[in-house]
């Protein structure tokens, strides 16, 4: 090397190829591009940044080295999950040069998380994000009507789900109306269709509750029910929603956002549709309670009536009458006694008085044999025979009785 | 028939309320006779609703604007399509 530097500059320049920076960069770039086909690189994300352009820049590193990486916006949007600092990933990328800064870097075409499936990771991230946002909060859960009259169903018209729903509905409560809004439940665009169906039912309004679901399947099959657009449609529905996805114990994001989660479509029907037999029993039971209560009320009134009739209060007037009657008897007796005493006394007084009177009475004289003679018709007492003439009529008053006679002879003295 | 726009739910909860009121035995006789009668009517109405006949499954179809119609749906036909 030092030999070259010892040559005179002019000579030197005539003997070597001189690159412009751009030329050299192009050389490096094409060497890299040709040497390294798209390749898989494992590392940890750091220094992640996402400017307003939407492209994502980060450094992929391990313990001893690091390499700058770019994730274009359109590729980032196609990923089901979001990348974060510290995340352990394997990227599929092309190695190339960023000419302006003279950096070599990875142009990322796909990302796989390490230690967890992409969908699992996406599920966990969305679940956490929506949870923090409050989409799953209990306070947003709408009550499921106890006796829905019309049920809206969002599922595939050809799947097992709708058949199971109809079967259970026929058995439990055949008169409840079922309205299906058919949708695709898997594949590209299924999530958008489900979300649209939810909003259509909300415009239609005339159902009491919605069942949104499908039969079981793999995580990929069920994926539409783990998408944000479905979760948000469920959250903003004014009609209460029952999610019914799969035959399995695993939850979907839709399950968390729904007002009620059923493990399967048939279970959803069992949960929201009352059983007609049970209800008939309940109604019978209620009407029996009515009759029993009414009967016992009548009995109790009867009892009250009886006890009132025999109460002291009501017996009191009768009692008063008896008491007064007795008092009356007493009074009458007293009066009788008093009266007879009075009479007795009056009698005594009377006979005493009469005795006194007797002595003076002319009747007493008559008793002794004298009599009184009246001249008729004037009933004038006759004291002398000369006052009478023959054939005149006289009345003689005796002690007992009187005599009517005609004068025959007169004997003056 | 009792109040218009009666739902089964309302009818049952009113029926429960009536049963409880009657069972409490605190109502005046006339009032209790009145609600007893209401209760009997409600329970008849409920049984009637419960035992209505089967209704067909329909399909929600969106029309122009915010209008909708309900079409009869034949699940067997859907399967073949």
- Going residue by residue through chain A, which has 413 residues, state the pLDDT in tens, using 9 for 90 and above: 555 566 677 777 778 888 999 999 999 999 999 999 999 999 999 999 999 999 999 999 999 999 999 999 999 998 989 999 999 999 999 999 999 999 999 999 999 999 988 888 999 999 999 999 999 999 999 999 888 889 999 999 998 899 999 999 988 888 888 999 999 999 989 999 999 999 999 999 899 999 999 988 888 889 999 999 999 999 999 999 999 998 666 789 999 999 999 999 999 999 998 888 888 888 899 888 888 888 888 888 888 888 887 877 777 777 778 888 888 888 888 888 888 888 888 888 888 877 776 666 667 777 878 888 898 888 888 888 888 888 989 998 888 888 999 988 888 87
Nearest CA in chain A to B53: A175
Distance of CA A361 to the CA centre of its chain: 113
Domain-embedded: residue B60:
no
The three-state (H, E, C) secondary structure of chain A, written as one string: CHHHHHCCHHHHHHHCCCCCHHHHHHHHHHHHHHHCCCEEEEEEEEEEECCCCCCEEEEEECCCCEEEEEECHHHHHHCCCCCCCCCEEEEEEEEEEECCCCEEEEEEEEEEECCCCHHHHHHHHHHHHHHHHCCCCHHHCCCCCCCCCEEEEEECCCCHHHHHHHHHHHHHCCCCEEEEEECCCCCCCHHHHHHHHHHHHHHHCCCCEEEEEECCCCCCCCHHHHCHHHHHHHHHCCCCEEEEECCCCCCCHHHHHCCEEECCHHHHHHHHCCCHHHHHHHHHHHHHHHHHHHHHHHHHHHHHHHHHHCCHHHHHHHHHHHHHHHHHHHHHHHHHHHHHHHHHHHHHHHHHHHHHHHHHCHHHHHHCCCCEEEECCCCEECCCHHHCCCCCEEEEECCCCEEEEECCCCCCC
pLDDT given at position B25: 76
Domain-embedded: residue B64:
no
pLDDT given at position A357: 66
Domain-embedded: residue B29:
yes
Contact A157 B73 (CB under 8 A): yes
Q: Flag whether residue B66 sits within 8 Å of chain A, measured between CB atoms.
A: yes
Nearest CA in chain A to B79: A158
pLDDT given at position A144: 92
So what's the ipTM on this one?
Answer: 0.74
Contact A147 B58 (CB under 8 A): no
pLDDT given at position A353: 77
**What residues of chain B lie within 8 A of the CB of A287, using their CB?**
15, 39-40, 43
d(CA A3, CA A304): 133
pLDDT given at position A312: 76
Contact A180, A207 (CB under 8 A): no
d(CA A153, CA A155): 6
As a whole number, the mean pLDDT across chain A is: 88
A364 Cβ contact partners less than 8 Å away, ≥ 6 residues apart: A358
Nearest CA in chain B to A158: B79
Measured CA to CA in angstroms, residue A390 lies from A381, A393, A406, A410 at distances of 17, 9, 8, 7
**What residues of chain B lie within 8 A of the CB of A294, using their CB?**
22, 32-33, 36
pLDDT given at position B2: 43
pLDDT given at position B3: 45
pLDDT given at position B8: 80
Which tokens go with A393?
A: 């009529």
Confidence tier at B33 by pLDDT (50, 70, 90): confident
**What residues of chain B lie within 8 A of the CB of A282, using their CB?**
12
Domain-embedded: residue B22:
yes
d(CA A68, CA A49): 12
The residue to which tokens 């058919």 are assigned: A182
Domain-embedded: residue B25:
yes
Domain-embedded: residue B80:
no
Q: Flag whether residue A176 sits within 8 Å of chain B, measured between CB atoms.
A: yes
Contact B23 A289 (CB under 8 A): yes
Nearest CA in chain A to B58: A179
Domain-embedded: residue B30:
yes
Q: Of A283, A284, A295, A299, which to mutate for an interface test with B (greatest number of B Cβ within 10 Å)? A: A283
pLDDT given at position A154: 96
Domains of chain A: 2-115 (2.40.50.140), 123-274 (3.40.50.261), 366-406 (no CATH)
Closest CB to A287 among B7, B40, B62: B40
- Which pTM value belongs to this model? 0.64
Q: Flag whether residue A170 sits within 8 Å of chain B, measured between CB atoms.
A: yes
Nearest-CA distance A276 → chain B (Å): 6
d(CA A333, CA A204): 98
Closest CB to B43 among A179, A286, A294: A286
Domain of residue B27, residue span: 8-50
Closest CB to B36 among A149, A177, A290: A290
Which tokens go with A355?
A: 């005795």
Q: Domains in chain B: how many in total?
A: 1
**Region B40-45 average pLDDT:** 88
């Amino acid at each position: 090397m030092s030999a070259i530097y010892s040559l005179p500059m002019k000579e030197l320049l005539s003997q070597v190829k001189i690159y412009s920076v751009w030329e050299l960069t192009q050389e490096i770039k094409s060497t890299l591009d040709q040497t390294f086909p798209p390749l898989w690189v494992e590392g940890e994300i750091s220094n992640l940044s996402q400017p307003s352009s939407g492209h994502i820049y980060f450094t992929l590193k391990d313990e001893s080295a690091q390499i700058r990486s770019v994730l274009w916006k359109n590729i980032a949007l196609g990923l089901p999950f979001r990348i974060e600092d510290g995340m352990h990933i394997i990227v599929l990328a092309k190695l190339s040069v960023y000419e302006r800064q003279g950096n070599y870097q990875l142009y990322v075409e796909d990302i796989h998380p390490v230690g967890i499936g992409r969908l699992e990771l996406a599920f966990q991230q969305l679940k956490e994000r929506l949870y923090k946002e409050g989409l799953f909060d209990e306070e947003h859960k709408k009550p499921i009507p106890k006796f829905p009259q019309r049920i809206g169903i969002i599922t595939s018209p050809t799947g097992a789900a709708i058949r199971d729903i109809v079967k259970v509905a026929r058995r439990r409560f055949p008169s409840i109306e079922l309205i299906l809004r058919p949708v695709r439940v898997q594949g590209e665009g299924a999530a958008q269709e489900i979300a649209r169906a939810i909003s259509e039912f909300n415009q239609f309004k005339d159902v009491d509750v919605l069942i949104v679901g499908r039969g079981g399947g793999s995580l990929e099959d069920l994926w539409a029910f783990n998408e944000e657009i479905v979760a948000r449609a469920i959250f903003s529905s004014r009609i209460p929603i029952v999610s019914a996805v799969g035959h399995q114990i695993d939850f979907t994001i839709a399950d968390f956002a729904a007002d009620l989660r059923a493990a399967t479509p048939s279970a959803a029907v069992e949960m929201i549709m009352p059983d007609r037999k049970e209800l008939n029993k309940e109604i019978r039971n209620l009407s029996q309670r009515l009759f029993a209560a009414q009967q016992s009320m009548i009995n109790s009134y009867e009892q009250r009536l009886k006890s009132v009739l025999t109460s002291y209060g009501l017996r009191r007037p009768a009692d008063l009458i008896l008491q007064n009657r007795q008092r009356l008897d007493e009074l009458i007796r007293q009066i009788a006694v008093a009266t007879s005493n009075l009479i007795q006394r009056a009698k005594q007084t009377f006979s005493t008085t009469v005795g006194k009177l007797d002595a003076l009475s002319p009747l007493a004289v008559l008793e002794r044999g004298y009599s009184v003679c009246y001249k008729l018709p004037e009933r004038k007492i006759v004291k002398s025979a000369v006052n009478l003439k023959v054939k005149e009529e006289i009345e003689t008053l005796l002690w007992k009785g009187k005599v009517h006679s005609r004068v025959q002879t007169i004997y003056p003295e | 028939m009792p109040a218009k726009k009666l739902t089964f739910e309302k009818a049952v909860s009113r029926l429960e309320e009536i049963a409880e009121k009657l069972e409490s035995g605190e109502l005046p006789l006339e009032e209790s006779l009145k609600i007893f009668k209401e209760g009997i009517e409600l329970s008849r109405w409920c049984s009637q609703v419960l035992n209505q006949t089967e209704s067909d499954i329909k399909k929600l179809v969106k029309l122009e604007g915010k209008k909708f119609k309900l079409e009869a749906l034949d699940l067997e036909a859907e399967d073949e399509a």
